[in-house]
Amino acid sequence: MQHDASQGAGRSTRRSGRKGKLATPRRSDVVRGGLPGGQFQPLSPAQQDAINQAALTLLEAVGMGNPTASATEILTGAGCQLSDQGRILFPRALVEDTLAKAARRFVLHAQNEQHNLEPWGANVYYGTAGAAVHLVDLETNTYEDSSAIGLYKAARIVEEMDNIHFFQRSMVARELTDLQDLDTNTLYAAIKGTSKHVGTSFCEAWTMQQGLELLHYVAGGEEAFRKRPFVSQSNCFVVPPLTFAQEACGCLEIATRAGMPVLLLSAGQAGATAPASIVGAVTQAVAECLAGLVYVNAIVPGHPAIFGTWPFVSDLRTGAMSGGSPEQALITAACGQMAQYYDLTGGSAAGITDSKLPDAQSGYEKAYTNVLAGMAGVNMVYESAGMHASLLGVCLESYIIDNDMLGACMRIIKGIDFKPESLAVEVITKTCLEGPGHYLGSDMTLSLMESEYLYPKLAERWSPKEWVEHGKPSLLGRARERMDAILAQPQPEHIPLDVQAYIEANFPIKF
Amino acid sequence: MQHDASQGAGRSTRRSGRKGKLATPRRSDVVRGGLPGGQFQPLSPAQQDAINQAALTLLEAVGMGNPTASATEILTGAGCQLSDQGRILFPRALVEDTLAKAARRFVLHAQNEQHNLEPWGANVYYGTAGAAVHLVDLETNTYEDSSAIGLYKAARIVEEMDNIHFFQRSMVARELTDLQDLDTNTLYAAIKGTSKHVGTSFCEAWTMQQGLELLHYVAGGEEAFRKRPFVSQSNCFVVPPLTFAQEACGCLEIATRAGMPVLLLSAGQAGATAPASIVGAVTQAVAECLAGLVYVNAIVPGHPAIFGTWPFVSDLRTGAMSGGSPEQALITAACGQMAQYYDLTGGSAAGITDSKLPDAQSGYEKAYTNVLAGMAGVNMVYESAGMHASLLGVCLESYIIDNDMLGACMRIIKGIDFKPESLAVEVITKTCLEGPGHYLGSDMTLSLMESEYLYPKLAERWSPKEWVEHGKPSLLGRARERMDAILAQPQPEHIPLDVQAYIEANFPIKF
């Protein structure tokens, strides 16, 4: 494949004429992405201080093992020490200096600017993520191999979901055994399917170049992409506890130099690769993400990095992951608080379920983890929709089911509108003393109908009689119908068709 | 039916020997009923003050319409005025005096004392309630008529559920068209099926006498029941907005004089029988329950009464109830705060779903409403399990499914255990620098396994492979199996068999 960056750059004029084609996003008036959470504070300020101090102690005394030569050079150059055991030790002052200069309040761009994210403070966005290896077929209840076309369908569905605000790669294109093919197709399936902010990951440093070329072409040149990087890199730079993942470090360096925001993802598992105590798992993750933050800022000071404290919970009886557990809800909420403690953009995981299928278990596990993540002010709630089997499976119908749940979570985060007139003393008085003795047609009811009450898109509120009259349709069946309708629409054109054609002719696109 | 109260009293000696037979309740070590909530505070202190003031204003200026002669006599005797419009007006000082002397910190007893409730402060208990007219048959997906035997089965199932802490009548025995039969059988089905605290309701004052006789017989005499009243009366004394329900008022007077705790239940529907604003609906419910509190305390000062602010949410497009909505989660949480504002035992509804079946929608709607009710410190969370179709249907399997969800809610309420050693600095340091590089067999992991991590009873955490090996059993199928196993056990004997036999021979028991 030959690709000349100037070709991309040459497209910039043409691209500027394209914005008018973008559809207005279907946003509810009642909720929107970015409403501020922070109502739930499981850690006290003193406890947050203690976690910070413990993390700094760990970075100073234990540091990170298994550095690459490049990481060693970069980090010792920035003021770290290399220990006798070959570990990189991080002086407290260096971490604190990094925190002082780290990027804050950076926009995460979307191809459609109306989907731009402002993930700071306690602003909450729900999105996808994952590296599931299965796609769940609900017609046969089968865990099939996930694929590039499955990922593309997922992106297209998420594009239509009001309450899923960004799309990080959720499944592995298992049919693509070549790493270059895998990474390029994964990236393209996501950005072709949705105009929302995309997160993806790369297997190794050498596979990234092709992806960057593709992104520059879509953006209309490298500078255009650097100005509005609409794709971030999800990077598992650490193998917990406190050990560098060498391939990921290579990708991290390239992404940082290429102006691509990075998600510094520390995914320990409490009781297995992280301490069993919730506080200990959070502390270790904080230490690891601070190490990553020093690393990124040593490469490019102020480069946008998401503080991805993302510890999972184990079922301690078996060691199996249990992402739908109540302990997971607490651990993720605590992580959200720690990102706010540092005033960094925080990303953590919620909405995981241990159930294999979209059922009552998956419903309740997803709900309590997602609502508490949002209420804790996690800026980027990853994995919030579509996942099953503690992230091993994706179910496309679940994106549609979960979208309503996430809307409800956001409505709860929005909270209670309290104005003097909300007390309704006059309304109640008049209704009781002058009639009609109910509020059905009152001005208050009519005015609040569209501003304070959220109406689900898929979930039903029929009476039993109406439900029978409709033929007792199941939630899964209705989700399937909606999915089929979305996928039957013309393919998205936020990437103009000629650009798509060029990419599909000149890059190894295989779906 | 002839029944002599002295017969019941004569059983008191025999009954005292029975306690040894009671099974030790199966309580998890990790969670238990009564853990304190209060982490979620959607209303500020000033907003709570404003609601209180608005409620006092309403009681003073609007009061309650449609009083019975008896209510008028009792309330004017206590200091209320009868308005020209025939409404009872409540002077502020009277309400404040009532609040000063109202019962606080009263135990709600259970036949098995180990299930006694201490519903004060922010202590949280989850339980059932409802007047569903349908029982959901999951084999045919049919909404059948609910019945006395269905209610008895529900009580037996709840008896076995660790995280359902009390049993209020959840369905109507529709085959019993005679009001006396209905009330007596409803009461007996509940107390025969479970040794937990029972709530029930009565249709009219004249049907109560038989129920009291039955209770006295089971308790071993009237004094024994008055000392440990293990049944409370759910009483809808108000037809919102601000109107007395006359039959219920008759029952309320009898229950109060009989020493039976009462749930003062104000069940308006925002946008229909209550203002559409969340704050207005809460304000009206607070005013109504304060009126009820004055009424009860005017009959018997200090009689135990649960502050049952219980407003529901309407779908304002249709007027249909929407108990699974996010607005419902907020309204219930705000009610929990108001009960704590007055330091009264508060009871409100959560765990309602609009879905007809136990599916993903019911899972997420139940989860976010229940977890937020608990986190707000609602003392008695009614309707928390088993309900569907916005309370029109009960599904027995759902009690078993919901029990795990309620355990998770309670685990979240329990929060994060934060001790200095929870930070795990030494554990992490040793693991990284001396090995083994993971925490699977560490002392911390083993010690926290049984104290900090909750394991579900029904929900599954299999890998996809294990799930296939088990034959891909559905959640509903497994719930059905567990239900069948519970109902196949010998019938409960917390009421000794000879007492059961006497009651079934001497009262009109029809199931």
Given B41, B418, B442, which is nearest A47 (Cβ)?
A: B418
Length of chain B: 511
| Listed residue (A202, A60, A228, A148) closest to A394, CA to CA | A148
Closest by CA to A99, choosing from A234, A278, A289, is A289
Q: Which of chain B's residues have a Cβ under 8 Å away from the Cβ of A241?
A: 428, 431-432, 437-439
pLDDT of residue B441: 87
Lowest-confidence region among A32-36, A457-461, B3-7, B159-163? B3-7
Q: How many CB pairs under 8 A join A and B?
A: 410
Phi, psi of B506 (to 5 degrees): -110, -10
Tens digit of pLDDT for each residue in A120-172? Answer: 999 999 999 999 999 999 999 999 999 999 999 999 999 999 999 999 999 99
> Which is the CATH superfamily of the domain at A101-414?
Trimethylamine methyltransferase-like (3.20.20.480)
Least Cα separation, residue A144 to chain B (angstroms) = 10
For B180, the 3-state DSSP assignment is helix
Interface residue of A417, A439, A449, A458 to substitute, partner B, most B CBs within 10 Å: A439
CB hemisphere CA count around B103 (13 angstroms): 26
Measure A7 CA to nearest chain B CA, in Å.
46
A77 pLDDT higher than 90: yes
Single-letter amino acid, residue A68: T
- CA-CA distance, A107 to A232, in Å (whole number)? 11
Residues of chain A in contact with residue B241, where contact means CB-CB under 8 angstroms, are 428, 431-432, 437-439
Q: Provide the H-helix boundaries in B342-442.
A: 360-375, 396-414, 425-434
Digit-coded pLDDT (tens) for A414-432: 999 999 999 999 999 999 9
Residue whose structure tokens are 């069993």: A276
Q: What is the pTM of this model?
A: 0.95
Chain A residues lying within 8 Å of B426, measured CB to CB: none
User: What was the pLDDT predicted at A28?
Assistant: 54
Compare all CA atoms of chain A with the CA of B46 and give the residue at the minimum distance.
A418
Asked if residue A20 has pLDDT above 50, the reply is: no
Domain extent listing, chain A: 101-414, 420-449
Q: Is A160 helix (H, G, I), strand (E, B) or coil?
A: coil
Q: Please, are residues A417 and B277 in contact by the beta-carbon 8 Å criterion?
A: yes
- CB-nearest to A316 from B278, B453, B463 is B453
Q: How far apart are CA A29 and CA A23, in angstroms?
A: 17
Give me the residue from B276, B372, B429 closest to A448, CB to CB. B276
Q: What is the pLDDT of residue B117?
A: 98
* Pairwise CB contact (< 8 Å): B459 & A354: yes
Which of the four pLDDT bands, split at 50, 70 and 90, describes residue A23? very low
What angle separates helix B396-414 from helix A326-341, to the nearest 10 degrees?
30
Region A275-299: what's the mean pLDDT? 98
Sequence-distant (≥ 6) Cβ neighbours of residue B83 within 8 angstroms:
B63, B89
Closest Cα in chain B, distance from residue A182 (Å)? 24
Contact A324 B363 (CB under 8 A): no
CB-CB contact of A184 with A508 (8 Å): yes
pLDDT per residue, tens digit, chain B (511 aa), is: 333 333 443 344 334 333 434 444 344 579 999 999 999 999 999 999 999 999 999 999 999 999 999 999 999 999 999 999 999 999 999 999 999 999 999 999 999 999 999 999 999 999 999 999 999 999 999 999 999 999 999 999 999 999 999 999 999 999 999 999 999 999 999 999 999 999 999 999 999 999 999 999 999 999 999 999 999 999 999 999 999 999 999 999 999 999 999 999 999 999 999 999 999 999 999 999 999 999 999 999 999 999 999 999 989 888 899 999 999 999 999 999 999 999 999 999 999 999 999 999 999 999 999 999 999 999 999 999 999 999 999 999 999 999 999 999 999 999 999 999 999 999 999 999 999 999 998 999 989 988 899 999 999 999 999 999 999 999 999 999 999 999 999 999 999 999 999 999 999 999 9
pLDDT digits (tens, 9 = 90+) for A368-399: 999 999 999 999 999 999 999 999 999 999 99
Asked if the Cβ–Cβ distance from B411 to A364 is below 8 Å, we say: no
